[in-house]
Amino acid sequence: MLEWKELNLSIWILVSISFFIHYLAEKNNKINYSGLIYKHFGIFADSAFAAITYGLAATTSAAILKGVYIQQFFGDVVYFAYSHDFDHRFSSALIT
């Protein structure tokens, strides 16, 4: 899955469709949200910025997973220093 050429494009399409559906469902809603973007620009801008945020997070996560995968299975060359204790650093960050 991580080697799929269209992974990033698929992530962006899925996130965009999800937030477009959210926009369509909420555009006629009379409840006022307290978000800064929503107050100044409306539900479309709020949905667009949320889609961009989630798209960037998802594609960045996929790139990091690719890097960790490459380092673990093709470890003859060090591409990412300290990847051997990646899980340890992550779990210790959650504890503190």
Kindly report the average pLDDT of the chain as a whole number.
76
pTM for this predicted structure: 0.63
Q: What is the rounded CA–CA span in Å between residue 93 and residue 80?
A: 19
Residue 89 has pLDDT above 60, yes or no: no
pLDDT of 42-78, one tens digit each?
A: 778 888 888 899 999 998 888 888 877 777 777 666 6
Amino acid at 46: D
* pLDDT confidence of residue 1: 57
Phi–psi pair at 65, nearest 5 degrees: -60, -40
Q: Please identify which residue in the block is written with the tokens 């996130």.
A: 15
Q: What is the rounded CA–CA span in Å between residue 18 and residue 50?
A: 10
